[in-house]
């Protein structure tokens, strides 16, 4: 187990190196001379420009710049935002929990709706419950998030007045307030994933339910509930878990738009603002952080995989 973990972590190293090279390269391709942007009013003064270049190591050879940057990143120094004049790392750490809360809630909603619906749909194959579940899944997948978001705001905020239409209260401040400000965006964000999860769960369950071991479970005299929710589901979950982690990564990306609709000050807002203001260190930091999260997620996926699939648990 520990050996496996060590080996798995070692595999991550080349990925990270490749990622860092790509992100660094991207920075080089970005238009505009950072020194010029940073100098602002004083861009006419060659001395100021030279000073800025020296500060940012822009006057060194490329490979030295790269190593310097990597060295900084490894020690948690993601650079300074040009616009807000704050460390990028701090900005990310401020915004990330917001988006993470939103994505986690969306994912929870997606799992709680998608997985049981997929199971139900498989056990009621070709019957009304199956058709209904498929209809709902299609709705969830094909509904544009902004439209669903606006409709929900109109219904729950404008018409019924149950939920605030925008804004955000951190979890640490007030739990219920926080949930009420994030439940609608989380639902909007989770609806598509719920549909995808439902379809995959349905397919995986149909496969599992046709296996010989399910017949054995029935022959043992187990109740249909145990046959479905224990024997079939345990095996069906293996492919669904992989998909789930990929979808969770996509959720983080999807949060960008949803955060705009509900004006939630998360990661999405951070990156949108940064891109529009050409705040390259922030863009770079966000991309790097996102990549790291994906790498972390794939590790979590593998661990979950091992937990439910005994065939991978040896060695």
Partner 1 sequence: MTVPALTIENLSVEFATDRGSLRAVDGVSLSVAPGRTLAVVGESGSGKSVSALAVMGLLPGSARVGGHIALDGEDLLALPPEALRARRGGAMAMIFQEPMTSLNPAFTAGEQVAEALRVHRGLAPAAAFAEAVAMLERVRIPDAARRARQYPHQLSGGMRQRVMIAIALACRPRLLLADEPTTALDVTVQAQILALLGQLKRETGTAVVLITHDLGVVADHAEDVAVMYAGRVVERASAATLFARPEHPYTVGLLGAAPRLTGGEGRLASIEGTVPDMRNPPPGCRFAPRCPFAITRCVAEPPPLAEVAPGHMTACWRAPLAQVLGAA
Q: Which residues of this chain interact with partner 1, rule CB under 8 A? A: 211-213, 215-223, 231, 234-235, 308-311, 314
Q: Which residues contact 280 (CB under 8 A, 6 or more apart)?
A: 27, 30, 34, 82, 274
Residue 211 or 242 having the CB closest to partner 1: 211
Cα torsion at 303, 309, 311, 312 (round to 10°)?
-10
Residue 90 or 215 having the CB closest to partner 1: 215
Mark residue 278 as left, alpha or beta (left: phi above 0; alpha: psi -120 to 50; beta: remaining). left
Beta carbon of residue 225, minimum distance to partner 1 (angstroms, whole number) = 11
Beta carbon of residue 217, minimum distance to partner 1 (angstroms, whole number) = 7
Beta carbon of residue 302, minimum distance to partner 1 (angstroms, whole number) = 17
Beta carbon of residue 215, minimum distance to partner 1 (angstroms, whole number) = 6
Residue 124 or 278 having the CB closest to partner 1: 124
Residue 109 or 217 having the CB closest to partner 1: 217
- Helices 280-308, 267-276: axis angle to 10 degrees equals 150
Beta carbon of residue 222, minimum distance to partner 1 (angstroms, whole number) = 6
∠ at Cα 17 (68, 306), nearest 5°? 140
Residue 19 or 308 having the CB closest to partner 1: 308
Beta carbon of residue 4, minimum distance to partner 1 (angstroms, whole number) = 17
Residue 55 or 224 having the CB closest to partner 1: 224
Residue 115 or 288 having the CB closest to partner 1: 115
CA dist., res. 88 & res. 102, Å (int): 21
Q: List alpha helices for the chain, DSSP H.
A: 2-29, 34-39, 46-55, 62-74, 88-123, 128-142, 145-152, 175-209, 212-219, 224-226, 233-261, 267-276, 280-308
Spatial contact of 141 and 196, defined as CB atoms under 8 Å apart: yes
- What phi and psi, each to the nearest 5 degrees, are found at residue 80? -115, 140
Spatial contact of 158 and 201, defined as CB atoms under 8 Å apart: no
Residue 150 or 308 having the CB closest to partner 1: 308
Q: List alpha helices for 30-45, DSSP H.
A: 34-39
Beta carbon of residue 212, minimum distance to partner 1 (angstroms, whole number) = 4
Beta carbon of residue 311, minimum distance to partner 1 (angstroms, whole number) = 5
Structure tokens at 246: 């990929």
Spatial contact of 245 and 307, defined as CB atoms under 8 Å apart: no
């Amino acid at each position: 187990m520990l050996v496996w973990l060590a080996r798995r972590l070692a595999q991550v190293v080349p990925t990270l190196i490749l990622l860092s090279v790509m992100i660094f390269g991207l920075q080089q391709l970005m238009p505009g001379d950072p020194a010029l942007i940073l100098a602002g009013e004083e861009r006419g003064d060659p001395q100021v420009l030279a000073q800025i270049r020296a500060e940012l190591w822009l006057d060194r050879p490329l490979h030295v710049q790269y190593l310097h940057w990597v060295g900084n990143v490894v020690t948690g120094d993601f650079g300074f935002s040009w616009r807000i004049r704050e460390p990028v790392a701090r900005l990310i750490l401020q915004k990330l929990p917001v988006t993470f809360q939103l994505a986690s809630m969306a994912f929870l909603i997606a799992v709680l709706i998608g997985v049981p619906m997929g199971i139900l749909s498989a056990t009621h194959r070709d019957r009304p419950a199956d058709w209904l579940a498929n209809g709902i899944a299609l709705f969830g997948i094909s509904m544009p998030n902004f439209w669903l978001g606006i409709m929900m705001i109109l219904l729950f905020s404008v018409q019924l007045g149950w939920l605030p239409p925008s804004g955000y209260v951190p979890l640490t401040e007030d739990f219920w307030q926080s949930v009420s400000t994030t439940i609608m965006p989380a639902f909007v964000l989770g609806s598509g994933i719920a549909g995808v999860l439902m379809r995959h769960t349905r397919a995986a369950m149909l496969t599992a339910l046709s296996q010989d071991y399910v017949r054995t479970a029935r022959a043992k005299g187990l109740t249909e509930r145990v046959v479905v929710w224990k024997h079939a589901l345990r095996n069906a979950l293996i492919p669904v878990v992989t998909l789930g982690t990929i979808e969770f990564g996509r959720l983080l990306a999807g949060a960008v738009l949803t955060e705009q609709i509900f004006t939630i000050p998360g990661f999405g807002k951070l990156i949108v603002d940064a891109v529009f203001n050409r705040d390259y260190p922030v863009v770079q930091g966000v991309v790097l952080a996102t990549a790291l999260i994906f790498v972390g997620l794939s590790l979590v996926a593998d661990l979950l995989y091992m937990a439910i699939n005994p065939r991978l648990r040896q060695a």
